[in-house]
Amino acid sequence: MQILFVLSSLFRFKDSRMEDVWLVDFYAPWCGYCKKLEPIWKEVGAELTRSGSPVRVGKMDGTAYSGVASEFGVRGYPTIKLLKGELAYNYKGPRTKDDIIEFANRVAGPAVRSLPSRQMFEHVLKRHSVLFLYVGGESPLKEKYTEVASELIVYTYFFSASEDVLPESVTLHELPSVVVFKDGTYFTYDEYEDGSLSSWVNRERFQSYLPIDGFTLYELGETGNTALPCSVKYSAKSSLMLSCRDFQFGHMEGNDYINSLIMGEVSVPSIIILNTSNEQYFVPAEPVEDLEQLLRFFSSVLDGSAPAFGGDGIFQRIKRVAYDARSTIMSVFRSSPLLGCFLFGLPLGVISLMCYGICTAESDDDTELMKRDGFTDEEEEEGEEEEQQRLTAGAEGEEEEDAEKIEQKSPTEKKVD
């Protein structure tokens, strides 16, 4: 059984694409990340085939079939997309076998999955850290919920159930409702307070406290959340589990990434609040030693009294370019001094030679012009010496002629003289 299809036949792919669900890796032969993904991609194909998944796994050279790649919005390599009918879902998660398989199984199924019993609800609740549930019958809210699920199923699962499926501990004030279960509790969507359903789902798909890395911060920045998500490094996790829904709490190991983000040096442990919408960050004015100080710091950020640093202004962008350039150069020299000298010394040497050539080009032109006129510096000096000799010889000749004339005069003329 073929577990990985190399999509070299464009017409076969177009004919079967609408009938099947495809998980496609768009790659480029010269791409290093694509080569790194290749063994993982083979494992993904083998695992989905063994599990009986309807998803067909393939890969396509985006440089050879640039028209197809452009049709699906491929702008970089590798790009992983799940194609289901007219829809194309872009995978943005970590490039690991388990994460890619979980994405494929989630997106390949229905956008909204039904939970027919309380046992099934409890089973699903144990498996998912964040669970969205529509409760009620047919309604305009359910239509909106289905649309949002079709859009955001790349991030999380969506379920629907009747009211009798819910445990007695869950109380809903009205039906139909959309509920999110996470962090051992639940929150109900309110259109007047929470805005659009899509924005609310996008904000609530994260747990209240989670490990944060560069990818998670990127996702947080795309949520459209106007509150201040925070990147937190703190030794006491329990002290951060606060009932404050204006912040996204988390922890980050080490300080390398956060140092590059704020273009500064942060000690560990530290607390930093990062506004991903405008790249501003906030730090406590004094060391945080208890929960009361921590809450005061959060309140000062919310009411605007805490000083903000960073941002996305023109000055910060220029500073970012300079910082990234300096960091790149320093990392190259730290990892391989000889390579750094070659990479940066060679261009400097070429530039120096070019500058020397430009500066000496004018004198070379003058020499060439003199050569065309029949002169060089040495020839010019020789010419001056010859001219001086001619003048000296001429003067001596005149003196000899005068002497001869005097000798030729008669005695009488000489006497007169």
For 61-109, the pLDDT digits (tens) are 888 888 888 888 888 889 999 988 888 888 988 889 999 999 999 998 8
Q: What residues does each domain of the chain span?
A: 5-108, 113-204, 209-312
CATH entry 3.40.30.10 includes domain 209-312: yes
Q: How far apart are CA 382 and CA 81, in angstroms?
A: 82
Question: What global pTM score does this model have?
Answer: 0.64
- For residue range 142-151, list pLDDT tens digits in order: 999 999 999 8
pLDDT range class, residue 370, cuts 50, 70, 90: low
Average model confidence (pLDDT) for the chain?
77
Give 40 or 309, the one with higher predicted confidence. Answer: 40
pLDDT range class, residue 2, cuts 50, 70, 90: very low
Contacts of 300 (CB under 8 A, 6+ apart): 306
Hey, which residues are catalytic here? 31, 34
Predicted pLDDT at 188: 93
Give 277 or 77, the one with higher predicted confidence. Answer: 77
Q: How far apart are CA 203 and CA 226, in angstroms?
A: 10
Q: Parallel, antiparallel, or unpaired for β 130-135 and 177-182?
A: antiparallel
Q: Which of 43-57, 267-281, 306-320, 331-345 has the highest mean pLDDT?
A: 43-57
Neighbours of 43 (CB within 10 A): 16
- For residue range 143-192, list pLDDT tens digits in order: 999 999 998 998 899 999 999 999 888 889 899 999 999 988 899 999 88
pLDDT range class, residue 400, cuts 50, 70, 90: low
pLDDT range class, residue 1, cuts 50, 70, 90: very low
Q: How far apart are CA 240 and CA 209, in angstroms?
A: 8
CATH entry 3.40.30.10 includes domain 113-204: yes
Q: Which amino acid is at 140?
A: P
Predicted pLDDT at 136: 92
Give me the residue label for tokens 């985006």.
62
Assign domain 5-108 to its CATH superfamily. Answer: Glutaredoxin (3.40.30.10)
Average pLDDT over residues 394-408: 58
CA torsion through residues 191, 197, 203, 204, sign? positive
